[in-house]
Every structure is written in structure tokens, then in C-alpha cells.
Amino acid sequence: HKINLKDYQKPSFDVVTVDLDIKLFEAYAQVDSTLQMVRQAAGDLVLFGEDLELLAISMNGDQLAIGDYQQEAGKLTIVNAPDQVTLEIQVRICPQTNTALEGFYMAGSGDDTMFVTQCEPEGFRKITFYPDRPDVLAIFTTRLEADKRYPTLLANGNLVEAGEVADEPSRHYAIWHDPTNKPSYLFACVVADLDVLTDVYTTSEGREVALELYAKSADIDKCNVGMQALKDAMEWDEVNYGRAYDLDRYMIVAVSQFNMGAMENKGLNIFNTACVLSSPETTTDARSFSVKAIIAHEYFHNWTGNRITCRDWFQLCLKEGFTVYRDQSFSADQQSSAVQRIDDVATLRAHQFSEDAGPLAHPVRPESFVEINNFYTTTVYEKGAEIVRMIANTLGPVDFRKGTDEYFRRYDGQAVTVEDFLSALSITDDKIEEFIDWYRQPGTPVVSGHQDYDDAAQTLTITLSQQTRHVSGFEAPKPLPIPVATALFDKDSGDIVAERMLLLDQATQTFVFEGVASDPVVSLLRDFSAPVQLNYDYQDEDLAFLLKHETNGFNRWQVTQMLVNRILLQGQGIKSSPDIYLQALAQTLPALAADDAMLAARLLDIPSAQELASAIHKDYDPELIKAKRDSLYQQVADTLQDQWAELYKKLPMQPYDDSADARGTRALRNIVLDMALTANVKGAVEWAQQQYDNASCMTERFGALKAMVNHQVANASEYLTDFYTRFQANDLVIDLWFSVQASADNVSTDVIQALLEHEDFDWNTPNRVRSVISAFSSQPTVLWTQEGLDIYTSVIKKLDDANPVLASRLLQVLARWNTLAEPRRQMAHDKLVDLQKHAASKHVLESLDSVLKAA
Ligand code: ARG
Ligand code: ZN
């Protein structure tokens, strides 16, 4: 059943302290809890609980019998509870069979197991009965007890005591106390056998913090990148937001079975191994960079999420949007800020724009949900971050910092709302409150415009208008405040003659620039100043001009993407020939490759088939789009074919080095290699083989392997076998081995089926499932077929019961079925209806319900 934002009510009881005693046994765990509760509003005392076996419950010393409380639909309700309550509750749970990876669960198998928690958003209710909602904050003390086979016993906060269990020499215990008042979704504990990498960080306030990164002993050598990133993030937050860490210990634990990337539990982060482990030999540069970003993201949550948390789950973007904005800013300081912006915008356009254009569109702050797990979306995270960015840019660094200081000053220790956030940020400028509509209104605004130059008056008038589609179930869209960063370029000199931030906050508006000597080329939405789609009446020549003269690397990339979109989506309105694009690339590439290899690599980007599809709203033909895309790629490769050999030689392989330059060289070399293979450049197959054989790191080795697989070079399968044999012991690398095959250009459903039946395939490891299924969904010509959809929907059916969070996320990829040309559209519809008959989880059913509403 649906929960609505407008129905929010304060909890009737506060929890002052909670004492947990978690005893892990061979086949189950027993959880004893003591809650000290105080009434703060009229109403029943409500606890949530799921998949719990209730053994005993007492209130203020008296055992409660059935009849003293009501139990239904995941709730335990005590009516007429007194104002001061001590509840003692005993439950039994079964982490050993918990495949949903929520609550307390076992990861691994056989002799190699560990136990961890995932409580956000509503997993704590699978550990014990509790008022499991983010606006109930309490002080937690946790005792863990287990067999000594599991020497590592961790929970939030400070270690108070540890020792042997009396009369049970094979068992031991540890007691942890967390001094922070926190919601239950930030609770965590770990029972495992892990090694630890330790370090120390001294905060600006002089506090010594012990840093501990826990992993299996075989992985401990892959923890240095994460540890360094943690120290960098701690310092960055002090310098940029004045926020220092508050406890004496910061722990990170790596686990191989995890539904998401990582989790910011107070003082005890739990990470998917894929998001924390990194070494040059086993991890690509792109992955390694995202490890640093995710470490920073979870660390930044300590202030934006943990110390100031969300009043209810509708406010999820309050912590996620702000924290993503913070991790993006951190990453921009670690590499070229242009490349960082390119990567963030590419993700936004590929995934968030698509979500916003389809049946799963929802506001950054949703107004209702059945299952909150379905709303950990790119809209909440990435569009949420874009709103904070617009606010930060509108205020400028000094006033934005005043606003965030005020936010931390006012709300530290509280559970708050998006309105609270905006009100703190508005202290220097109350116009900021108007950004609230960005949180309420779904859909991507389309900004259209044109320019009129008046020679006599020497004025340029830019007319801009905005339009947002009306998403059913929501009010008619209204104009939003859209900052449009603008620069005018003189056509002769190529110089900037004026620069201004235009604020478009009405349906249509004109902006006049005085003293403009000749009709300029206008560069709009610089640095992607707002998450909108831009339709300006450019000539291809204007875009080519900007590719040459724009001073900001992001803007240069943006015009290449506009050119590519015009070429590939022609017939859908705009007509463009590739000549101007190809010529502009040919002129730009040589100098740029020498100057900034990473940016040069990005300029060769052609949006994926999936991303192109997201811009098509009707009669989408996957074969046609793939053919057009392949043909443009071929044209780029052919047009520049004389450059590839020279470029490849100028980008020599060198001993591994983590500098931005070295990473740029590797990124560009991999693309040049693929281009050379595409253009059939003489010797390119040998380059690939040599790059693989002599690789100094995974970026080089995997780049070569991927190119060989995609181009089906003669002995690609031998290289695949070599790769498998070399890295057999490393799950994360074997994930790459699965994904390179499942996402190959020529993949067939037979290959996918074979991968699913491979002995190393594992349904209980989300990373492995995604390495085949998410990889495969990147090939729309295979996905949108009878066999493709049969495989895809059977995977969802299979996971529906075992891991509904994962199943529902995979399902969301099918949301845009309604844009397909017939007969695929009807076929996809029928498969989804069939899936609906078999699905049982509320996660999958809610997603299906929305997805099918598009019919
Ligand atoms: N708060 C985590 C993060 O963004 C994500 C956890 C989401 N977990 C889930 N089951 N939906 O860092
Ligand atoms: Zn987060």
C-alpha cells in the first residue's frame, strides 16, 4: 500500500537508548533488545518488524501476552502505553538464509563466510522490532557474541569491552557504544574473519582518528587506494565545508555480496568490494577513480546524512543530492574539472534524462511510494546533485559556504526536510527558496532559443523559453528557475566578448546584451549550468566554431555531443551531415592529444546505443540506431585513419603510474586502439596483442582485451581464456571477464545463456548477476528480442523472491519499452504482463505497475 508525504506524522515515542545483544549461532541468531522510550505525542506505540520470530516481549518489567499488543502487516502496536516505557524484546532471525541482503545477512559460502548488515532504508526491522524510521534518533550500545572462528566483531562507535564468553571457551564477545544519537538505518555490525589495514588521521581540531579498512586477507593489498582517498576526503571536508570527523575511529569493511555500492553507517561503513578494493594489476583506472569517489561519498555522509539526517524517506535527496554534489566537487579537485563534469553530465543524460522521460519519472522528492527501495534512483541522486549545484552557482562560493555553515549550525543532530535545507541556504538570498519547485516537479525541462542581432543598435537579444512535459498524476508544470551560463564569442577573433549568467525563470524571456560589435556565436549552458535539454537554433558551423574556440573543456565536449546527436537522430527533426563534425575532430585532435589526452579521449565519445535511445520517444528501432551509430563510428575511424598509427606511437606504454597524465594517456590509447581496429589500420591487431601481453596494469590489459573481443580478432577467445586463467582467483576481475563478453558488440542470447550457466556464475552475488545482465542490457538489438526478453524477465522472476531490491532495479531498465516500434513494442508489453503474473514482491510489483502504465 502507498505511503504519502502529506500524511507525515511525528512518532508518538522517542527512543532514548537501545541496548542490543546479538548472539550468532550456527543456524540462527538471537537478538535481545532493551529500548528506553519516552512519549512525545499522543498515539499508539508502534514498532516495525519483518521476518522475525518473536520469542518474548515485556513492558516495564511485565511480560506481554498476545492480546496486550496487535501484530499485523509488519507492525507491532501497543495501545495505551504509559509515557515512560522500557521494552525488552527477544527475537530469533536467520542471517544464514537471508538472500535479500537486507538486515543481518551472511555473505560467502562454505568455510568462507561473514556476516554483515544493510539497514538503509528499512532493514533494521529485519533485525528486531523497532520504531524503524529516520526521525527516531537513539544512542546504541551493541554486544556481539559469536564463535571464535569469527575473530572480527564490529559495531558502530567505540569498543568498550571484549572477551571470552563465560563457560563457553569457543565463543567470544565485544561491546560497542556509539555516543551519537542516530536513526536505526545507520546501525551496522560485522561478524567475520578479516585482516585490517590501519592508519591515523589527525583532524584540524587535533583529534586523532584511527582509520581501519577491513578485508579478507587476500584482498588487504588492495586497500591502499581506498585508505588514501579516505584521508584526502577527511581533509577536503575540513577545508571546503569546515567539517571535521567526530569519533575516535573510522572503519570500512569490504564485502563481496552487496546490493548497492556502499553504505555510510555511523563510523562503520560497509562497502561492496567492487567499490573499495583497487590495485593497478586488477582494477581499471575508471574503477579506481570511482573507488575514491565512493569512499569520499560515504565519508561526506557523516555530516550530510548522519549528523543531519532525513525526517522521512521522501527527503532522501536531502542527504543524497547534497552528498553526490560534494563527492563530485571532491573528484573535480582530484583530476581535470572539465573531465569530471563531462563524466557526471554523461551519466545524467544517459540515465536520468531517460528515467525522467519515461513511466518511472518522479520528482527529486517523491510524494508517494509503495517501496522506498525503488526510489534510490538517478533522479534522487544525480538530479538531486544538480539542484544543489545550481544553488551553489547562483550563490557563488562565499554565500554558498555561509549557507552550508548555517545549515550545519541550525540542524546538527536533527532529522530535517528539503525546506529546512533551502531555508538555511537562503540566508543571503531568499530567491533560493524558489528552487523548491525543482524538487517537486518531474520531467526534464527543454530550453529552446534563438538570437537576434541588431547591427544599428549593436545589441544582441537572446530569447529563451522553457517547457516541461506534463507527467500524469502531477500538477501542470510551471516555469523553474534555470541558470543559463552564457558567453558570446566574436566570430572573427574567436574571443569571448561577454559572459553572463542568465536566469530563465519564466516561460519565455529575452536577454539583451549591449555594445556587441558584430553577430556573435553564443555558447549556452556552459559547464551544464542546469539539468535541461537545450534546443538552440545553431548551425553546424557554429558548433564547429565553438569546438575550436571554447575555453572550457566541458563546453567543447558538449558541442561534439550536440553535433553527434544531430547526425544520429536526424529524421527525428534535425538534419546534419557528418562532414563538419568529422572535419572539426580532425583539426582538433592532434593538438589536444598532446595537450590533454584525457579530454581528447572524451571528445571522441559517441553516445552509447542505450543513451541515444533515451532521446527517442516513439517508434524506436534498435537496429536502425545501432546501424547509424556504427556507421558514424566507422566514419570517424576512417576519416582519421592516418592519425591513429602516429597517435598510438606517441602514447607509449610505460611502467604504471597513477598521475592524471598517465591515466589520460592510457584512456586515449585504448580508444585509439579501438579506432585503429575499426579502420583496419595495418598492424592494429598486433598492437592489441602486444598491449595485452606487455600490459603494466588492468587498464591496458582490459582495454586490449575488450577491443579484441569487440572486433572479433582471430584469437580473441585465446585471450579470453588467458585472462580467465590469470585472474581466476579474483572475483572482481572475473566480473570483468563476464561483462566483456556479455556486452560485446556481437553478443547473442546463446552467449548470455552460456554465461548464466557458467560454473562461476552465482545468483547470490549481485556483482556477478550485474556483470552479465546489466552488461547485456547495453545491447538493445539483443535485449529487445523474444529470446533477449525471455532471458531478462526470467532473471527478474528468479530474483523476485530471493532478492527483490536487485530484481526491481534490473526491471527498471525495461521502462522505455513503450517507445519501441512495433512489433517489438507489443512483444515487450506481453512479456511484462506475463512477468506481472509471476511476480510477488512489492518492489517488483510497484515498478511493473508504473512501467506498464505507459501503455
Ligand atoms: N546510502 C547509500 C549511499 O548512497 C545507499 C544505500 C542504499 N541501499 C539500499 N538498499 N537502497 O551511499
Ligand atoms: Zn549516498
Residues 6+ apart with CB under 8 A from 571: none
* E strand spans, 613-771: none
Res. 573: pLDDT tops 70: no
pLDDT tens string 351-391: 999 999 999 999 999 999 999 999 999 999 999 999 999 99
Q: How far apart are CA 700 and CA 92, in angstroms?
A: 50
- Separation of CA 320 and ligand 2 centre (Å): 5
Nearest CA to ligand 1 atom 5: 263
Q: Report the amino acid identity of residue 585.
A: L
> DSSP for 768-819?
HHHHHHHHHTT-HHHHTSHHHHHHHHHHHHHHHHH-HHHHHHHHGGGGGGGG
Distance 305 CA to ligand 1 centre (A): 11
From the alpha carbon of 297, which atom of ligand 1 is closest?
A: 12
Strand 112-118 versus strand 138-147 pairing type:
unpaired
The answer, yes or no, to whether residue 748 has pLDDT greater than 70, is yes
* Residue 609: band (very low, low, confident or very high) from pLDDT cuts 50, 70, 90: confident
Could you read off the pLDDT of 465-481 as tens digits, one per residue?
999 999 999 999 999 99
pLDDT classification of 754: cutoffs 50, 70, 90: very high
What is the C-alpha to C-alpha distance for residues 345 and 553, in angstroms, rounded to an integer? 13
Lowest mean pLDDT among 414-428, 558-572, 663-677: 558-572
298, 320, 382, 550: the catalytic one is 298
Question: In one letter, which amino acid is 167?
Answer: D
Average pLDDT over every residue of 523-539: 96
Give the 3-state DSSP-derived string for 428-477, with helices as H, strands as E and coil as C: HCHHHHHHHHHHHCCCCCEEEEEEEEECCCCEEEEEEEEECCCCCCCCCC
The β-bridge relationship of strands 446-454 and 533-536 is parallel
- 143-188 pLDDT tens trace: 999 999 999 999 999 999 999 999 999 999 999 999 999 999 999 9
Asked if the model's pLDDT at residue 657 lies above 70, the reply is: yes
264 CA distance to ligand 2 centroid (A)? 7
Task: Yes or no: say if 364 and 321 are a contact pair by the CB < 8 Å rule.
Answer: yes
Q: How far is CA 83 from CA 40, 43, 689, 747, in A?
A: 8, 11, 74, 64
pLDDT value of position 789: 98
Mean pLDDT of 665-687: 98
Question: From the CA of 120, how far away is ligand 1's center (Å)?
Answer: 6
Identify the CA nearest to 480 among candidates 395, 420, 390, 393: 390
- In sequence order, which ranges of 274-429 are alpha helices (DSSP H)? 285-300, 316-334, 337-347, 353-357, 378, 384-411, 418-425
Q: Is 382 a catalytic residue?
A: no
Per-residue pLDDT, 575? 62
Mind spelling out the 3-state secondary structure of 496-510?
A: EEEEEEEEECCCEEE
Tell which atom from ligand 1 comes closest to the C-alpha of 372: 11
Q: What is the pLDDT of residues 816-834, one digit of tens each?
A: 999 999 999 999 999 999 9
Name residues contacting ligand 1 (CB within 6 A): 118, 120, 259-260, 262-264, 297-298, 320, 373, 376, 805
Q: What's the 298 CA to ligand 2 centre distance in angstroms?
A: 6
Give the SS3 label for residue 677. Answer: helix
Element (H, E) at 633: helix 622-639
Question: Cα(822) to centroid of ligand 2, in Å?
Answer: 39
What's the 795 CA to ligand 2 centre distance in angstroms? 27
Tell me the three state secondary structure of residue 331.
helix
Q: Which of 260, 378, 381 to mutate to test the pocket of ligand 1 (most atoms within 8 A of CB)?
A: 260
Model confidence pLDDT, tens digit, residues 89-132: 999 999 999 999 999 999 999 999 999 999 999 999 999 999 99
Mutate to test the pocket of ligand 1, among 120, 187, 843 (most ligand atoms within 8 A of CB): 120
Enumerate the β-bridge partners of residue 18. Answer: 35, 140
Q: Which atom of ligand 1 is nearest to the CA of 381?
A: 4
Cβ(430)–Cβ(412) below 8 Å: no
Lowest-confidence pick of 485-499, 573-587, 752-766: 573-587
The ligand whose atoms approach the alpha carbon of 264 most closely is 1
Question: Do 426 and 436 touch, CB atoms closer than 8 A?
Answer: no
Grid cell in block for residue 724: 580467465
Q: What is the mean pLDDT of the chain?
A: 97
pLDDT, tens digit, 9 for 90 and up, residues 49-104: 999 999 999 999 999 999 999 999 899 999 999 999 999 999 999 999 999 999 99
Q: Which amino acid is at 302?
A: N
Report the distance separating Cα 747 and Cα 421, nearest Å. Answer: 47
Q: Whose CA is nearest to atom 3 of ligand 1?
A: 263
Q: What is the mean pLDDT of residues 1-21?
A: 97
What is the C-alpha separation between 321 and 421, in angstroms, rounded?
11
Residue 574's pLDDT band (cuts 50, 70, 90):
low
Q: Which atom of ligand 1 is nearest to the CA of 123?
A: 10
Please name every residue paired with 287 in a beta bridge, in sequence order, or none if there are none: none
Give percent of the chain with pLDDT exceeding 70: 99
Whether 2 shows a pLDDT value over 70: the answer reads: yes
Cα–ligand 1 centroid distance for 145 (angstroms): 27
Give the per-residue pLDDT at 571: 59
Cα separation, 354 vs 347, in Å, equals: 11
Q: Is 101 helix (H, G, I), strand (E, B) or coil?
A: coil
Which pLDDT band, with edges at 50, 70 and 90, does 855 fall under?
Answer: low
For every residue of 499-548, DSSP letters joined together read EEEEEE-SSEEEEEE-S--S-PEEE-STT--SS-EEEE---HHHHHHHHH
Q: What are the beta bridge partners of residue 533?
A: 446
pLDDT at 749: 98
Beta bridge partners of 33: 20, 89
